């Protein structure tokens, strides 16, 4: 794919566009925009065959206006200093947009996980953690990593274990990383959080009558034709939640190919087919597309790029036929392509908002780790007993016995997963309304991306000003 400008330049261009709608001083805007620190490292990996390989890795801390900084760790051959700096900046803006009190960070290791055994990936992860620790780039109060492209709960568990082994006396060490397995202090709902947040964001956008009318679509998710690029953590869950809400998933793609079925693909069955055959192609009843990138050009209501950055560029934007684009991945639409889509009245839900569900639930996990108690543990039974008393009083007053399927769900107290999902839903709805309001204040002259950046810039600026750094 064509890359129009460096990723950091793309992010900064979007920032500058929004900054023009604020009245902060040039110095303050520069401080918000620049990346505070980047740590580049190389370390040796002993491969299973005894050979030695030099591994390149980075960690960027974009802004410490709030601490700790927070951001995922990516394992990909495309990782570079430019990429981690851009992604760290997006994390700063994302956290501000959803009111998560963190600065932005990002890490990357230049490896393709397909080329390494499980034991080698473990050695890479543990050594990377050690290198971060040596330079104070990991700590519950300084810098807290999480999963991103190419990493998941297993890597987070290795990070925690390595951190624990080198800082054994720290009471809060379990909060040094999020996205951990439940047994290692993870929180229920974190794995699917980003995809669920993508769903909540799209659902909120699709509930706006004015916007749907402008796009020539009905209100609601039900019946919308959806295409998803990338069936990894974010893409799979986003597609699954959209389908459960009534969307028709007509196209899906993975790195090896893409499939199409106008009647709708069963997301879970496609996922199962890929697990069994190691490929998304040749899914029974579906049509194979010529190239994996062709999925972006399918006619649909909502296109959800959920793989990597720079997917919709000036090279293919003229062929994109979606009415709405939900940026589940970070930076999937270049700033040039964004302009071209806006001119065609395509609605774009920006990454800085739409994929913030992951960091929101990571924040909940961090809070759980610091409080050393599972959400719901103190109040679930109490809530259940209170609800039961109220329902029994209603039965007594009305003289009618409620059936079990009415009584049971109402009486039930909220457990950890209920609370996490509810907190996520609240966050995504509030943030969307805030962005949408800013967009309206500018007479719809700006898009949601610029509106989201304005929200982020104003919040980070307020933090700096209140810290007294810029009197």
Name the strand (E) or helix (H) holding 57.
strand 52-61
Which range of residues in 251-259, 365-373, 407-415, 427-435 is near ligand NAD by CB under 6 A?
251-259
Of the candidates 289, 279, 221, the residue with the CA atom closest to the CA atom of residue 251: 289
Full DSSP string of 339-371: HHHHHTT-EEE-HHHHTTHHHHHHHHHHHHHHH
Determine, following the binding rule CB under 6 A, whether residue 330 of this chain makes contact with ligand NAD: yes
Per-residue contact track with ligand NAD, 142 to 161, x per CB under 6 A? -----xxxx-----------
Minimum distance, C-beta of residue 395 to ligand NAD, in the bound complex (Å): 44
Determine, following the binding rule CB under 6 A, whether residue 231 of this chain makes contact with ligand NAD: yes
Minimum distance, C-beta of residue 154 to ligand NAD, in the bound complex (Å): 12
Minimum distance, C-beta of residue 47 to ligand NAD, in the bound complex (Å): 22
**Residue 156, preceding peptide bond in cis (omega within 30° of 0):** no
110: its two tokens: 């230049």
Binding residues with ligand NAD: total (CB under 6 A)? 25
Distance between CA atoms of residues 395 and 185, nearest Å: 41
Considering only CA atoms, give the Rg of the chain: 23
Of the candidates 342, 300, 351, the residue with the CA atom closest to the CA atom of residue 317: 342
Position among 10, 12, 310, 355 found at the interface with ligand NAD (CB under 6 A): 355
Comparing CB distances to ligand NAD, the nearer of 307 and 446 is: 307
Determine, following the binding rule CB under 6 A, whether residue 243 of this chain makes contact with ligand NAD: no
Torsion sign over Cα 211, 216, 218, 222: negative
Position among 306, 320, 420, 428 found at the interface with ligand NAD (CB under 6 A): 306
Position among 32, 57, 267, 308 found at the interface with ligand NAD (CB under 6 A): 308
Comparing CB distances to ligand NAD, the nearer of 24 and 94 is: 94
Which range of residues in 161-169, 233-241, 379-387, 448-456 is near ligand NAD by CB under 6 A?
233-241
Determine, following the binding rule CB under 6 A, whether residue 303 of this chain makes contact with ligand NAD: no
CA angle 62, 137, 101 (to 5 degrees): 50
Name the strand (E) or helix (H) holding 15.
helix 7-19
Comparing CB distances to ligand NAD, the nearer of 149 and 363 is: 149
Comparing CB distances to ligand NAD, the nearer of 306 and 461 is: 306
Minimum distance, C-beta of residue 24 to ligand NAD, in the bound complex (Å): 27
Minimum distance, C-beta of residue 351 to ligand NAD, in the bound complex (Å): 7
Which range of residues in 22-30, 78-86, 141-149, 417-425 is near ligand NAD by CB under 6 A?
141-149
Comparing CB distances to ligand NAD, the nearer of 115 and 386 is: 115
Determine, following the binding rule CB under 6 A, whether residue 10 of this chain makes contact with ligand NAD: no
Output 120-126 pairs: Cβ under 8 A, ≥24 positions apart. 120/45, 120/47, 120/48, 121/75, 121/155, 122/158, 123/45, 123/46, 124/45, 124/55, 125/151, 125/155, 125/158, 125/159, 125/162, 126/158, 126/159, 126/161, 126/162
Torsion sign over Cα 205, 198, 143, 139: positive
CA angle 358, 72, 226 (to 5 degrees): 45
Position among 105, 107, 189, 358 found at the interface with ligand NAD (CB under 6 A): 358
- Among the listed residues 70, 106, 180, 323, the single catalytic one is 106
Comparing CB distances to ligand NAD, the nearer of 132 and 306 is: 306
Minimum distance, C-beta of residue 352 to ligand NAD, in the bound complex (Å): 10
Per-residue contact track with ligand NAD, 280 to 299, x per CB under 6 A? ------------x-------
Would you tell me how many other CB atoms lie within 10 Å of the CB of residue 354? Answer: 32
Distance between CA atoms of residues 142 and 112, nearest Å: 28
Give yes or no: 106 in active site: yes
Position among 8, 63, 253, 421 found at the interface with ligand NAD (CB under 6 A): 253
The catalytic site residues sit at 106
Q: Interface with ligand NAD by CB under 6 A: which residues?
A: 72, 147-150, 194, 229-235, 253-255, 292, 306-308, 328-330, 355, 358
């Amino acid at each position: 794919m064509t890359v129009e400008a460096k990723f950091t330049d793309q992010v900064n261009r979007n920032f500058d566009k929004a900054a023009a709608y604020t009245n902060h001083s040039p110095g303050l805007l520069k401080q918000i925009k620049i990346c505070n620190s980047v740590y580049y490292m190389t370390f040796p990996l002993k491969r299973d065959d005894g050979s030695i390989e030099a591994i390149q890795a980075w960690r960027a801390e974009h802004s410490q206006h709030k601490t700790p900084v927070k951001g995922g760790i990516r394992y990909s051959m495309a990782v570079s200093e430019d990429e981690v700096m851009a992604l760290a900046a997006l994390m700063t803006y994302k956290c501000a947009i959803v009111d998560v009190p963190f600065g932005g960070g990002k890490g990357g290791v230049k490896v393709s996980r397909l080329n390494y055994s499980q034991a080698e990936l473990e050695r890479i992860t543990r050594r990377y953690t050690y290198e971060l620790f040596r330079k104070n780039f990991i700590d519950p109060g300084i810098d807290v990593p999480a999963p991103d492209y190419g990493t998941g709960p297993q890597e987070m568990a290795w990070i925690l274990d390595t951190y624990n082994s080198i800082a054994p006396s720290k009471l809060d060490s379990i909060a040094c990383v999020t996205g951990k397995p439940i047994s290692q202090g993870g929180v229920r709902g974190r794995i699917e959080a980003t995809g669920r947040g993508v769903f909540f964001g799209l659902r909120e956008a699709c509930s706006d009558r004015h916007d749907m009318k402008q796009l020539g679509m009905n209100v609601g998710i039900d019946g919308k034709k959806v295409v998803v690029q990338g069936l990894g953590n974010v893409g799979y869950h986003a597609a699954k939640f959209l389908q459960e809400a009534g969307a028709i998933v007509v196209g899906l793609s993975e790195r090896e190919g893409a499939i199409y079925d106008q009647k709708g693909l069963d997301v879970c069955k496609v996922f199962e087919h890929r697990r069994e055959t190691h490929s998304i192609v040749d899914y029974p009843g579906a049509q194979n597309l010529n190239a994996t990138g062709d999925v972006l050009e399918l006619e649909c209501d909502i296109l959800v790029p959920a793989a990597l950055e720079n997917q919709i560029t000036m090279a293919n934007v003229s062929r994109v036929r979606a009415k709405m684009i939900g940026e589940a991945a970070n930076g999937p639409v270049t700033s040039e392509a964004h302009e071209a889509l806006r001119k065609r009245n395509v609605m774009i839900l920006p990454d800085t908002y739409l994929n913030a569900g992951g960091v929101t639930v990571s924040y909940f996990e961090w809070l759980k780790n610091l409080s050393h108690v599972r959400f719901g543990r103190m109040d679930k039974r109490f809530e259940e007993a209170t609800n039961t008393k109220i329902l029994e009083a209603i039965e007594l007053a009305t003289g009618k016995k409620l059936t079990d399927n009415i009584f049971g769900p109402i009486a039930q107290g909220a457990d950890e997963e209920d609370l996490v999902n509810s907190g996520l839903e609240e966050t995504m709805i509030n943030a969307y309304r805030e962005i949408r309001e800013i967009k309206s204040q500018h007479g719809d002259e700006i898009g949601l991306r610029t509106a989201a950046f304005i929200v982020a810039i104003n919040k980070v600026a307020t933090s700096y000003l209140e810290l007294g750094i810029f009197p």
